[in-house]
Amino acid sequence: MADSMDIDDSLYSRQRYVLGDSAMQQMAQSAVFLSGTGALGVEIAKNIVLAGVKAVTLHDCKRCEVWDLGTNFFIREEDVHSQKKRVEAVHSRVAELNPYVQVSVASDVLDENTDLSFLKRYQCVVLTETKLSLQKRIDYFCHSQQPPIKFIGCDVFGICSRVFCDFGEVFEVSDPTGEEPKELFIQNISQGNPGVVTCMDSRTHGLQTGQSVCFKEINGMSELNGTTHQVTVLSPYSFAIGDTLSFQPYAHAGIFRLVKMPKIFSFAPLQLHTIMLALDAFLEQHARLPNIGSVSCCARGCLSPLAAAVGGIASQEVLKALTGKFSPLQQWFYLDAIEVIQPLQSLPAEEFAPRGDRYDALRACIGESLCLKLHKFQVFMVGCGAIGCEMLKNMALMGVGLSRCSGEICITDPDLIEKSNLNRQFLFRPQHIRKPKSTTAAAASLEINPELQIDAHLNKVCPATEDMYSDAFFSRLNLVVTALDNVEARRYVDSRSVSNQKALLDSGTMGTKGHTEITVPYLTESYNSHRDPPEEEIPFCTLKSFPAVIEHTIQWARDKFESAFSHKPSIYNMFWQSHSSAQEVLQVRIILHTMEGSFQVIKLLSQRPTQWNHCLALARLKFDKYFKKKALQLLHSFPLDTRLKDGSLKITKCVYFYQHIETDETVKKPDQLKMTVSSEEERQAISQLQEAINSSFVTPERLRMTSLFFEKDDDSNGHIDFIASASALRAHMYAIEAADRLQTKRIAGKIIPAIATSTAAVAGLVSLELIKVAGSYGFELFKNCFFNLAIPVMVLTETAPVKRTQIRDDISFSIWDRWTIFGHEDFTLSDFMNAVKEEYGIEPTMVVHGVKMLYVPVMPGHNKRLKLTMHRLIKPSAGRKYVDLTVSFAPEVDGDEDLPSPPVRYYFSRESESGETA
């Protein structure tokens, strides 16, 4: 991996979008020394090996204990029984995470008498489970080297943790934030001292005084193109850049972009902080942590989700140390779970009694009764990708869903494992490629903890699978966990969880950013309670004729791919599938009935290459069409100096739409162009089709075409190559700076940047909330989180309290409420309305089932429906036990809108409540 060509994109593609190739190359030339392979150390080892450093040396002198089975996901029962050293037990399992990383072991004693000169061959030293005096000695040694060896010390003590970084006196960061700089269009640049730049369409620039921007594609004041200027912000829409009096007058167009400037950080050697000094002193004096049940009752314990969260944070600091990418910690970071886990001092002493099993470390932190609740939990997890793998690991270590306690984890994911998954979905290995994620993840989880009860499915959770994931299924659950990569699926699972009053834990990552959202019945809002603004679609006119940025040309190329290789072959195949033979197609009657499809078939048959030189000829024709004729036609219709009524140039605002001007930029791409066909054209079509068929020695097999469906991760299929080439040609045609293949792949494939560090951190934080759900904690103890490991920042916030809708002074409801009415075979609509009034104190004025109005008084004939039975009105399908109805009530003041109610679930019989089916 000496240069960018050697980076294995099939493995690292998602991570390359987070770190960039320069950082990846630096990592691939760096070695890390990591001491301590306990809960925190093995998390860090996992993350940095997945990231792709050159070499990692794992150091540890301790032997495996039963305790480790509940904290270290790479230690097995046989390792404990054989008293194997921890570093030897985890070595091969860490090494197989990434074949590009050299993983070695060291088990010599590291103490005050050790000659530290061996550390000079490492670029970063990470210490866990190391007493403070030794940390200080090693830090001073690392700090004094030229160049300094980057030092990180981190620990987890029960429910508290800390991370310390020392990267030397001068540490340069090339990209402090990792944010992709935005490109914005220019409305005007004044000639003056200073010159003032105004953004187009009142777009906010988001700049700060002192930052620098570079300019390109400016017409008129061309002296600015390719130059960089420091800005002074004047307003959200304008900024000054210095003297422009001697420049040519600004004419039109132009783009500016923020230029990222390196930033210098300075570090001091390890300093004492008052927090946790007592624990450090005790550890120095007694060479151990306090016993369970003492004043520092849980310091000796280990909360594996906290180790996962801190491990993700500390691992990102290792990558920063090696690459200079993103802002490092300065210098301490503390994350304690006191906000996360209920204070333990109030728990009785017997709650801490060790049992000599794999859950002692957890029991020391949260107590016996809460530990037992986790064992009994019934969890449904949707998605087994990166976050899903981390969640399963955390649940396995905590013993969530044990078979002996009648607990269970049900997981489902329809996807198969790809090579690109291996970089962050750490339960999977190369031999698992093309195997189902869910069953593979389940088997790997059972290796971590054989006591689990896991049921793995290969299904989507969607309306089509509601018979399987019915209300009866949800009724057994304690918790739903989403580990999904799209909003639509999240919203559906959330709606099912709310409908069945089940807690839901949601989380997600994008690059170095992560978020968690906790939904608890009757306490919090749900995922669907808020909606992000929809993504802006690129106007069709922009794609077709007026691209301005590289994203426009990439989307245009993606559309051309879909049209040429997916859409047209599909139409072609559908045409032939509707006819049994070529001769049948030639019948005039059939041709006339499917003329539109016939023209597509004629065109494709006549153009279908049979030799390599035919391919070259077709490519040349396409090139002339897309990159010459279209441009000449556009320039003829819209000369570059043509202006609109407001004085702005047409080339930036007009719409070219099938050879006529369209001024509405909201015009959508037509679904399909209808063809008006004359009788002469029909005869020509028949003749051309017959000639094409006869000249092709047609057999049924030769009449078929293979539709290609866009696949971004298979570099051998040429899909990204086609889009990258077509996009670059179109970009050149419009004087737009082209994107490289990696950037094109990200935009065309809508790839979400991802890295193992963020995934580990977000899953650890979610798993801490899982403990609270098991403990039935109060509203104020649940925490949502947003973090950005690049800056770095972590913000814990209270969840949004559930809102209540008032119907009457004494009647209100929230999203979690559901009214219930039980009927019978002869139960009428009138009976239903009386039952609602009797049960809930308010009389319905309207009843709706889905889109069907069962009762609306103003509708003709609806009053007669009051005597009809609910069965007759609803006509339920066989086996249906209930329906959810929408009921409204008369307003208190005439003229106001009708008042809503929560869903009213009507059971067709009282017996149907058990084993209910949606």
Distances (CA, A) of 667 to 297, 360, 706: 67, 64, 32
pLDDT at 589: 39
pLDDT at 918: 45
Judgement on whether residues 237 and 378 belong to the same structural domain of the protein: no
The domain that holds 691 is classified in CATH as: 1.10.10.2660
**Residue 386 falls inside a structural domain:** yes
Judgement on whether residues 571 and 605 belong to the same structural domain of the protein: yes
pLDDT at 604: 73
| Cβ atoms 85, 109 nearer than 8 A | no
Task: For 862-883, give one letter per residue: b (16+ CB within 10 A) or e.
Answer: beebeeebbeebbeeeeeebbb
Judgement on whether residues 649 and 786 belong to the same structural domain of the protein: no
In the numeric block, the tokens 């190391």 are attached to 130
Q: What secondary structure does DSSP assign to 177-213, as a single string?
A: S-PPPPEEEEEEE--SSS-EEEEGGG------TT-EE
Question: Quick count: other Cβ atoms within 10 Å of Cβ 287?
Answer: 8
| CA 736-738-741 angle, 5° bins | 160
| Cβ atoms 798, 346 nearer than 8 A | no
**Residue 295 falls inside a structural domain:** no
pLDDT at 592: 44
pLDDT at 269: 84
Task: Lay out the sheet containing 844-849: strands in order across.
Answer: 819-822, 904-907, 882-889, 844-849, 852-855
Distances (CA, A) of 490 to 487, 668, 694: 5, 28, 53
Is residue 541 annotated as a catalytic residue, yes or no? yes
In the numeric block, the tokens 């080339």 are attached to 651
Give the C-alpha separation, 570 to 582, whole Å.
Answer: 18
Number of structural domains in the chain: 5
Judgement on whether residues 154 and 187 belong to the same structural domain of the protein: no
**Residue 918 falls inside a structural domain:** no
Q: What is the DSSP letter of 796?
A: E
| CA 81-85-86 angle, 5° bins | 95
The domain that holds 224 is classified in CATH as: 2.40.30.180
Q: What is the DSSP letter of 352?
A: G
Six-digit token string for 255: 């783009």
| Residue ranges making up the domain that contains 249 | 183-259
In the numeric block, the tokens 């480790």 are attached to 68
Q: How far is CA 263 from the centre of its chain?
A: 29
Six-digit token string for 664: 């509405």
| Cβ atoms 409, 401 nearer than 8 A | yes
Phi, psi of 910, deg, nearest 5? -65, -30
| Cβ atoms 441, 393 nearer than 8 A | no
Give the C-alpha separation, 642 to 633, whole Å.
Answer: 15
Give the C-alpha separation, 214 to 222, whole Å.
Answer: 12
**Residue 407 falls inside a structural domain:** yes
Q: What is the largest CA-CA distance in the chain?
A: 101
**Residue 15 falls inside a structural domain:** yes
Radius of gyration of the chain (CA): 33
Six-digit token string for 127: 């210490």
Judgement on whether residues 858 and 885 belong to the same structural domain of the protein: yes
At 850-893, the pLDDT tens digits run 889 999 998 999 999 999 999 999 999 888 889 999 999 888 77
Distances (CA, A) of 541 to 290, 535, 544, 553, 640: 70, 17, 5, 12, 17
**Residue 284 falls inside a structural domain:** no
Task: Lay out the sheet containing 454-457: strands in order across.
Answer: 454-457, 408-412, 378-382, 479-482, 503-510, 513-519, 783-788, 793-798
Judgement on whether residues 762 and 866 belong to the same structural domain of the protein: no
Give the C-alpha separation, 782 to 516, whole Å.
Answer: 11
Its pTM surpasses 0.85: yes
The domain that holds 870 is classified in CATH as: 3.10.290.60
The domain that holds 310 is classified in CATH as: 3.40.50.720
Which residues of the chain are under the pLDDT cut of 50? 1-5, 342-347, 580, 588-593, 650-653, 655-664, 672-677, 697, 915, 917-918
Distances (CA, A) of 677 to 169, 587, 590, 595: 78, 17, 15, 8
pLDDT at 548: 85
Name the pairing type of β-strands 160-166 and 332-334: antiparallel
Secondary structure of residue 216 in the 3-state scheme = strand
pLDDT at 703: 61
Going by C-beta distance under 8 Å and a sequence separation of 6 or more, which residues neighbour residue 109?
61
Judgement on whether residues 392 and 525 belong to the same structural domain of the protein: yes
Give the C-alpha separation, 314 to 764, whole Å.
Answer: 13
Side-chain-facing half-sphere of 239: CA atoms under 13 Å? 24
Going by C-beta distance under 8 Å and a sequence separation of 6 or more, which residues neighbour residue 33?
57, 59, 119, 122, 124, 125, 126
Helix (H) or strand (E) holding 150: strand 150-157
Judgement on whether residues 316 and 425 belong to the same structural domain of the protein: no
Q: What secondary structure does DSSP assign to 732-748, as a single string?
A: HHTTPPPP-HHHHHHHH
Q: What residue spans of 428-536 are helical by DSSP H?
A: 437-448, 471-475, 487-499
Give the end of a domain, one of 259, 290, 314: 259
pLDDT at 476: 95
Closest CA to 484 of 462, 454, 459, 507: 507
Six-digit token string for 524: 């919090």
Phi, psi of 269, deg, nearest 5? -60, 170
Give the C-alpha separation, 14 to 31, whole Å.
Answer: 22
Q: What is the DSSP letter of 825?
A: T
Give the C-alpha separation, 56 to 45, whole Å.
Answer: 8
pLDDT at 558: 95
Judgement on whether residues 150 and 119 belong to the same structural domain of the protein: yes
Q: How far is CA 46 from the centre of its chain?
A: 20
Catalytic residue among 297, 541, 654, 785: 541
Closest CA to 525 of 169, 803, 284, 809: 803
**Residue 651 falls inside a structural domain:** yes
Give the C-alpha separation, 107 to 37, whole Å.
Answer: 11
Give the C-alpha separation, 244 to 897, whole Å.
Answer: 60
Give the C-alpha separation, 786 to 516, whole Å.
Answer: 7
Six-digit token string for 107: 């088990």
Judgement on whether residues 143 and 111 belong to the same structural domain of the protein: yes
pLDDT at 699: 54
Distances (CA, A) of 853 to 323, 436, 883, 886: 63, 44, 14, 9
Give the end of a domain, one of 702, 735, 768: 735
Judgement on whether residues 574 and 517 belong to the same structural domain of the protein: no
Going by C-beta distance under 8 Å and a sequence separation of 6 or more, which residues neighbour residue 623?
729
- Counted residue by residue, the chain has a size of 918
* 618 phi-psi bin (left φ>0, alpha ψ -120 to 50, beta other): alpha
Question: Quick count: other Cβ atoms within 10 Å of Cβ 908?
Answer: 20
Going by C-beta distance under 8 Å and a sequence separation of 6 or more, which residues neighbour residue 564?
none
Give the end of a domain, one of 760, 779, 798: 798
**Residue 38 falls inside a structural domain:** yes
Side-chain-facing half-sphere of 446: CA atoms under 13 Å? 13
Name the pairing type of β-strands 408-412 and 454-457: parallel
Six-digit token string for 291: 């016993």
Judgement on whether residues 375 and 506 belong to the same structural domain of the protein: yes
